[in-house]
Amino acid sequence: MNKLIVDSSTEKRIKSGIQLLSGKDFPDLELTDDVVSIQSRSGQFLGTAYLSQQNKGVGWLISRQPIQVDQEFLVALFEKAKSKRQSYEQSELKTAYRLFNQDGDNFGGVTIDRYGDYALFSWYNAFVYAQRELIVSAFQRVYPDVLGAYEKIRFKGPDYESAHLYGQEAPETFHILENGVVYEVFLNDGLMTGIFLDQHEVRGGLVDGLAAGKNLLNLFSYTAAFSVAAAMGGAEATTSVDLAKRSKELSEAHFRANGLDLENHRFVVMDVFEYYKYAKRHGLTYDVIVIDPPSFARNKKQTFSVAKDYHKLIAQAVDLLNPGGTLIASTNASNLTMGQFKKQIAKGFGQIKYRELSVQQLPSDFTINNNDESSNYLKVITLKV
């Protein structure tokens, strides 16, 4: 096995429990897409890692021990991950959730989600992609009940982004259950699946009645999953706004899957900043507003980054909120700390008084590395004006 000798700052980081190897620390690294033994300058063994270029970082520490990435090692990882998710496995109200979450389950670069009888693997670098037969066969030993699987490519290399991986093929679209609500999903159409599983607790709060009897506005709504959850939880009306044309039919599919009448539920294909102006012009106001933008977006006129511009979304939402209204502000930007996010919110409110009702982060199936704050990327703050 090749050795990689690291400097003292990387040594410190590794010892603090961070698994991601940052590109900044290894400017001249030859990326071998292979397993290496990590050692300090003084020759101390620090752990086993693999090197591979991905969107964030150049590799992952995968053990504090000298190990081989073989069946036995991977089966043990999957069994441990499975034991952490027993409550999900036993729940009859939830058939879709994350089975394996990168460094939260001690092996960065790969995630696996369950969608009913099927699994969805996401590969974040060329190393895990090259090892996928081994990874899949270990997975199948731990999850013999999974009928078939799909894969998503989340790094530059292969000339496809989605494919069937093994076993039975899933229907083009099918239903999963979450908090007793039905969502229509698809596993082989680009990188998206019709639902973002990491938001299931926030949807759970809506199903439990956070917006009961209320008029809800859902901004950056994608397939309107928050709106469906709210409607199932007794919301009187919902409006879902997304720029993507396709979002409308996908949103309607979720509503129909639950037998909901569409009369009080609107789907607007529009830029959110345009919708703010439209709503103001027409005197539209709401009791609950959900804001869940992409970390970075660009339209014809402007670029938007959560880190710099979130306060603008808040300020304009506050203008549309009824007195005593509730705001659910969400972001999945890992480059923004909770403190920075709260500052953006405070800036958006300016002089207007508000109080926090709850702060949510990733749910327990999206395991995190407790020693690495950036692995807990999701931040959802519910506020009352």
- Which positions touch ligand SAH (CB under 6 A)? 196, 199, 220-223, 225-226, 241-244, 247, 271-272, 292, 294, 297, 299
Helices (H), 17-144: 71-83, 86-90, 126-130, 132-142
Q: Which residue, 147 or 297, has its beta carbon nearer to ligand SAH?
A: 297
Collect all residues with Cβ–Cβ distance below 8 Å to 243 and sequence separation of at least 6: 269, 270, 271, 272, 299
Q: How far is Cα 6 from Cα 36, in angstroms, rounded to an integer? A: 12
Query: In whole angstroms, how close is the CB of 223 to ligand SAH at the nearest point?
Result: 6
Query: In whole angstroms, how close is the CB of 28 to ligand SAH at the nearest point?
Result: 37
Query: In whole angstroms, how close is the CB of 260 to ligand SAH at the nearest point?
Result: 17
Q: Which residue, 51 or 380, has its beta carbon nearer to ligand SAH?
A: 380
Bridge partner list, 49 = 36, 61
Query: In whole angstroms, how close is the CB of 13 to ligand SAH at the nearest point?
Result: 31
Query: In whole angstroms, how close is the CB of 290 to ligand SAH at the nearest point?
Result: 7
Query: In whole angstroms, how close is the CB of 219 to ligand SAH at the nearest point?
Result: 7
Collect all residues with Cβ–Cβ distance below 8 Å to 50 and sequence separation of at least 6: 33, 34, 35, 36, 59, 60, 62, 69, 109, 127
Q: Which residue, 48 or 251, has its beta carbon nearer to ligand SAH?
A: 251
E strand residue ranges, 169-295: 174-178, 181-185, 215-219, 237-242, 265-269, 286-291
Residue 335 three-state SS: coil
Q: Which residue, 199 or 369, has its beta carbon nearer to ligand SAH?
A: 199
- Helix orientation angle between 272-281 and 306-320, rounded to the nearest 10 degrees: 20
Q: Which residue, 244 or 338, has its beta carbon nearer to ligand SAH?
A: 244
Q: Which residue, 105 or 178, has its beta carbon nearer to ligand SAH?
A: 178
